Amino acid sequence: MRVSVDPDRCCSSGQCVAAVPEVFDQSEDDGVVLLVLPLPPAELRSAVRTAAAICPGRAISVQES
Amino acid sequence: MTTVEPIDAITFPAPRGGCPFAPPPAYQEALERPVSRISLWDGSHAWLVTRHEDVRAVMGDRRFSADARNAGFPFLSEGRRELAAESPSFIRMDDPEHARYRRMLTGDFIIKRVETLRPEVQRIVDDFLDRMTSHHPPADLVAEFALPVPSLVICMLLGVPYQDHDFFQERSRILLRNHSTAEQVRRARDELSAYLEELAERKAQDPDDRIISRLLARGDLTRSEVAAMSLLLLVAGHETTANMTALSTLALLRDPVQLARLRKDPTLIKGAVEELLRFLSIVQGGTVRVAVETAEIGGTTIAAGEGVICMLSTANRDGSVFASPDELDVGRDARRHVAFGFGVHQCLGQPLARLELQIALETLIRRLPGLRLAVPAEQIRYRTDAAVYGVEELPVAW
Ligand code: HEM
Ligand code: SF4
């Protein structure tokens, strides 16, 4: 699985950080998403899918491989 | 194209039915159709969008504007029209204007920042609970616990003196009440704005490290811009969490099985708060937008200049997303709920609201094992006439 984020679409909700703090973080200044782990290990993948589904900016894409 | 019938069957606000926690039956029945027509207080009409997928589609689409200055914007009451008429805050703006203001505040509300408030919020919660239980039961949980906790927290964050709480709480309620006249709303808004501008004036002379002072220190905002942002945070920051705390407590007291599950396993609290947000969906009028370009939602064409009301409460009980949606289940994964909205306006304060609710409910349940209603449930009065649903009072014993 490869994760990517689009900072321009991010509205800083923090949903992704709440769902998988290992994969996503937020900038301290304006809360915009930061991708920590673009290639998440198997045990985090289902949580990443949840994050992508609930992201209010539809800023997270997941490429399953 | 789908034809929508029956035309104009629903009037806003539709009355609630038998269950005080369920959305009005007329809105829930609308889940059977992709979109419905709804008539508003001034005789105008808007589209009612009720399904989870469609609500997210509207809220996430820039062709639907939150800016009430656009022709055709649907106002849910006379007062709400008046509120939007002057110095609107960013909740009633579109990007890029909206994003400019919002981003000045997002740093204060990211999870990491909000988590650092945990000990302080716990102390505030314990303190109000100590005071409430220092006298003999019954107590009104709204006035003695649910309202003061988030009021004090938002005051602390903004740098607003908490001793002025009666002043801003009374005026906030007028702003959010459906039956408030334009005149009442104008006066309440003007008094709050004057109060916050005067506070900003004092902070400019004698700054602290709280939000209002930091906004002023940027140097690119006028006093009235700072006052408009503070007004939004102050009102949104206490009414919502207060009503959610009291209504959640009532919902749990009326569902002993779910309450017992939470008592037994306090680690369920995070998920339980998400489920309560879904189940109660206190922003009972939903979110409002106006189409600024023609768009299609659920197979229906919505023309530019037509208003849309996204019913968050029905989207949160959409059976295609939530199994047995009318059941409160503190163990389910409810995170797909739209109780905080969706898209660029999704609630800025949600990490704070979550923190406050988790701490308030967990502490209440842990410290008061005998918590119960002090009046028959039928006597509870509900806030059906307000933007934010809740109870007027919650008499409890312990
Ligand atoms: C349980 C508590 C809460 C609920 C259910 C709630 C719900 C909502 C909803 C549905 C919206 C979206 C409005 C729209 O799209 O038109 C919103 C926006 C907003 N909320 Fe909350 N809210 C809560 C608590 C808070 C708190 C504690 C704060 C304060 C810090 C806050 C501040 C805001 C702000 C500033 C916006 C506007 C965001 C924007 O337009 O970008 N809310 N809230
Ligand atoms: S969930 Fe989406 S909008 Fe929210 S912070 Fe993460 S990427 Fe940004």
User: Model confidence over B359-397: pLDDT tens digits?
Assistant: 999 999 999 999 999 999 999 999 999 999 999 999 999
Domain boundaries, chain B: 10-397
User: Bridge-partner residues for B388, per DSSP?
Assistant: B283
User: Which pLDDT does position A36 carry in this prediction?
Assistant: 95
What's the rounded Cα separation, in Å, for the pair B334 and B318? Answer: 12
Type and span of the H or E element at A45: helix A45-54
How far does the CA of residue B107 sit from the closest CA of chain A (Å)? 5
Kindly report, residue by residue over B78-136, the tens digit of the pLDDT: 999 998 888 789 999 999 999 999 999 999 999 999 999 999 999 999 999 999 999 99
Residues of B with CB under 8 A from a CB of A: 59-60, 102-103, 106-107, 109-113, 333, 335-336, 340-347, 350-351
Q: What is the CATH number of domain B10-397?
A: 1.10.630.10
A residues 25..54 contacting B (CB < 8 A): 26-32, 50, 53-54
- The reply to whether residue A26 touches residue B351, judged by beta carbons under 8 angstroms, is no
Is pLDDT above 90 for B323? yes
- The reply to whether residue B106 touches residue A19, judged by beta carbons under 8 angstroms, is no
Is pLDDT above 60 for B6? no
Q: What is the mean pLDDT of residues B301-321?
A: 97
The domain over range A2-63 is classified in CATH as 3.40.190.10: no
| Contacting residues of B for A15, CB less than 8 Å apart | 335
Look-up of token digits 């028959």: B376
Kindly report, residue by residue over B250-300, the tens digit of the pLDDT: 999 999 999 999 999 999 999 999 999 999 999 999 999 999 999 999 999
pLDDT-derived band at B3, boundaries 50, 70, 90: very low
Is pLDDT above 80 for B8? no
User: Which pLDDT does position B7 carry in this prediction?
Assistant: 53
Which amino acid makes up residue B249? Answer: T
SS3 letters across chain B: CCCCCCCCCEECCCCCCCCCCCCCHHHHHHHHCCEEEEECCCCCEEEEECCHHHHHHHHCCCCEECCCCCCCCCCCCHHHHHHHHCCCCHHHCCCCHHHHHHHHHHHHHCHHHHHCCHHHHHHHHHHHHHHHHCCCCCEEHHHHHHCHHHHHHHHHHHCCCHHHHHHHHHHHHHHHECCCCHHHHHHHHHHHHHHHHHHHHHHHHCCCCCHHHHHHHHCCCCHHHHHHHHHHHHHHHHHHHHHHHHHHHHHHHCCHHHHHHHHHCHHHHHHHHHHHHHHHCCECCCEEEEECCCEEECCEEECCCCEEEECHHHHCCCCCCCCCCCCCCCCCCCCCCCCCCCHHHCCCCHHHHHHHHHHHHHHHHHHCCCCEECCCHHHCCECCCECECCECCCEEEC
Contacts for B375-382: CB closer than 8 Å, 24+ residues apart = B375/B138, B377/B254, B380/B20, B380/B250, B382/B16, B382/B20
User: Which pLDDT does position A23 carry in this prediction?
Assistant: 97
Does residue B308 contact residue B46 with C-beta atoms inside 8 Å?
A: yes
How far does the CA of residue A51 sit from the closest CA of chain B (Å)? 9
Mean residue pLDDT of chain A comes to: 93
How far does the CA of residue A48 sit from the closest CA of chain B (Å)? 13
| Torsion angle defined by CA atoms of residues B392, B393, B394 and B398, in that order, rounded to the nearest 10 degrees | 170
Q: What is the mean pLDDT of residues A29-57?
A: 94
Q: Roughly what angle, to the nearest 10 degrees, separates helices B223-253 and B256-264?
A: 100
The complex's ipTM? Answer: 0.90
For the CA of B289, the nearest ligand: 1
* Residue B339 CB less than 6 A away from ligand 1: yes
Domain boundaries, chain A: 2-63
Q: What is the mean pLDDT of residues B307-336?
A: 97
User: Bridge-partner residues for B391, per DSSP?
Assistant: B382
